[in-house]
Amino acid sequence: MWEKLRKIKFVNIFWSLFYGLIFLVLLNNGFNYLDPDLGWHLKVGQEISLNRQVPSVNHYNYTYTGNWVDHEWLSDLLSYLAFNNWGYEFLVFFFAALITLTFIILNIFVSKKLSDKTLFPFIAIFQLLGIFASLPHFGVRMQGFGVLFLLLLLIIIDLYDRRGEKRYLFFLPLIFLFWANLHASFILGLFICFAWLGIRIGERLLLLAKNRLHFLKLDKVLSADKIKHFFYFSLLSLGATLINPYTYKLYSFLGGYKNRAYLSLIQEWLPQYRFPLHYDQLIYLALGAVVLLFTIYQALKKQNKIELWPFFLTFLFLILSFKSKRHFPLFVIASFLPLISFYGNFFKGLNIKGYQHLLRGLVILCLLLVGLSQALSINFIKQPFTSFCGNYPCQAVEFIKNNNEYQQSNLLNAYDWGGFLIWTMPEKKIFIDGRLPQVKYANKTFIEEYRRFFKEKEDKTSLLNQYNIDLVLIRTKEEPLQLKKWERVFFQIKSEKLNAKNYLRDYLEASSEWKQVYQDKTASIYERLPL
């Protein structure tokens, strides 16, 4: 037995413990919070299951009642079926396993691509950094499917790029068939396909030009036939996205994204320079920026040449992630190969052979101890909609349900409570939720119209009358954003400037037309007084 254990390679033991730890970290993260949108995802999935058709008319709000496209309908249906049959714990386990599997595949892809066994510490370090920095975006989140499918797409492109075998391209339409029904990020996948085509065509044109750009690597330009094959399969992939219950109408939701107000009004869509700052993400993005800058520097010094495709991918997702924190996990996937290649070669000269056995022992011990700590700290939750009442209006919902006079009242609710209310109080239509913040509404976007209620100079009386609102459900107090002392000094900014005052609550408290009928530590309810 001991002989068999000795023959097991350290690397195999390391990766087994490493991904066991990653899974436990993701599991812990999934049980630590309730995603604001989970409620509406489950309710829509339930509706699809019962009606045997996807929703097309919005009946969850009394405000926007137009058509809508659920571009995550299959994710919603599968999540509801899993939740209904096996419970919330299964959902958390599933999404933790999904992300863990994604990073295992990423490891295998990069390891085979670089064919350098000494790089495995860098793969582990950067995966650990990327996963911990991405934790705010992981959990029971449908975008986990987008992360996996982006990786699969990049692997297929790479395999075809290197080997030129058409058999790999047959997977493209299949990927997009599922991707288009699971998550809207398939649009980004289509863009990547056609961007790859544009870059490869551009390389051929540059190769034919008399004055070639000396800083570009053009020694492996694809033939015209191979480019044509990829183009045909890209068109097939585009066609595959139309195989969904909405057919071509699936793309109708894109029109709402012309107005980009949501980028400054919704927390996870905020750019990296908006508080609260995620320093772990900023560090990782800085590491990616260093790779790009050093690549340009080497090209200008004629020490190396720029390979357009990996450079473009890293640059594209760096910009996307800087403009919106939500895209950070995609940057981790898209930039992983260039980062490992660069930093692995940069630190390759480190000599640790004399300490190899000691380091291996310490690494295994640390993985075991941290993994045990994570496992013991997991708080298994079976009822998510009653377990996070410090962040969601659990008791306030019961109060409304128990008072029949409020059943017909138009309710103005906090935006991030919309999904919770759709699941816990489905009989009552609400003002807004997380499904359609970008949709055109009242000559602006839905989220902008909602935000008017909280602005200082808006006429609250007119707004409340306009929508016949008789009941308001808002937070009892806002969670203040506290800056660290060094942040206040370095950025020369005060915490007060970052914490917007709730002018709607001030109005309701001062108005003789409204009275508070319920309050707890989380939520307050205000009722319009009869005339």
What DSSP assignment string belongs to 273-332? TSSSP-HHHHHHHHHHHHHHHHHHHHHHTTSS-B-HHHHHHHHHHHHHHHH-GGGHHHHH
Beta bridge partners of 412: 472
φ and ψ at residue 40, rounded to 5 degrees: -75, -30
Closest by Cα among 148, 128, 101 to 283: 128
Q: What is the pLDDT of residues 423-466, one digit of tens each?
A: 999 999 999 999 999 999 999 999 999 999 999 999 999 999 99
Beta bridge partners of 269: none
DSSP 484: P
Beta bridge partners of 306: 216
Q: What is the pLDDT of residues 86-128, one digit of tens each?
A: 999 999 999 999 999 999 999 999 999 998 888 888 899 999 9
User: Residue 375 is which amino acid?
Assistant: A
Going by their DSSP bridges, the two strands 444-445 and 410-413 should be labelled as: unpaired
Please give the helix or strand (H or E) that residue 199 lies within, else none.
Answer: helix 186-208
- Per-chain mean pLDDT for the chain: 92
Q: Decide: 145 and 98 in contact? Cβ < 8 Å.
A: yes
Measured torsion, CA atoms of residues 438, 32, 101, 361, in degrees rounded to the nearest 10 = 140
279-300 and 120-134 helices, crossing angle to 10°: 130
Q: Is the peptide bond before 276 cis (omega within 30 degrees of 0)?
A: yes
Please give the helix or strand (H or E) that residue 403 lies within, else none.
Answer: none
- Using pLDDT thresholds of 50, 70 and 90, give the confidence band for residue 358: low
Cα–Cα distance, 525 to 515 (Å, whole number): 9
Q: Decide: 473 and 393 in contact? Cβ < 8 Å.
A: yes
* Other Cβ atoms closer than 10 A to 359: 12
Going by their DSSP bridges, the two strands 469-475 and 410-413 should be labelled as: parallel
- Using pLDDT thresholds of 50, 70 and 90, give the confidence band for residue 480: confident
3 state SS for 86-134: HCHHHHHHHHHHHHHHHHHHHHHHHHHHHCCHHHHHHHHHHHHHHHHHH
* Other Cβ atoms closer than 10 A to 408: 9
Q: Please state the rounded mean pLDDT for residues 350-368.
A: 65
Residue 115's pLDDT is 86
DSSP 401: H
Please give the helix or strand (H or E) that residue 474 lies within, else none.
Answer: strand 469-475
Residue 485's pLDDT is 81
Cα–Cα distance, 103 to 15 (Å, whole number): 11
- Using pLDDT thresholds of 50, 70 and 90, give the confidence band for residue 318: very high
Q: Please state the rounded mean pLDDT for residues 264-292.
A: 93
Closest by Cα among 112, 103, 15, 122 to 342: 122
Residue 373's pLDDT is 86
Measured torsion, CA atoms of residues 308, 310, 314, 316, in degrees rounded to the nearest 10 = 50
Tokens in use for 94?
Answer: 């599933």
> Which range has highest mean pLDDT (76-85, 208-217, 301-310)?
76-85
> Which range has highest mean pLDDT (264-273, 342-351, 406-415, 473-482)?
406-415
Residue 29's pLDDT is 97
pLDDT of 332 over the 90 cut: yes
- Using pLDDT thresholds of 50, 70 and 90, give the confidence band for residue 295: very high
- Using pLDDT thresholds of 50, 70 and 90, give the confidence band for residue 5: very low
CATH class of 389-528: alpha beta
Residue 4's pLDDT is 47
Tell me what percent of the residues of the chain surpass a pLDDT of 70.
96
Cα–Cα distance, 467 to 276 (Å, whole number): 33
Angle at CA of residue 401, ends 396 and 405, nearest 5°: 105
The structure tokens 């053009």 sit at: 218
Break the chain into its structural domains and give their ranges.
389-528
**CA end-to-end distance (rounded Å), the chain:** 85
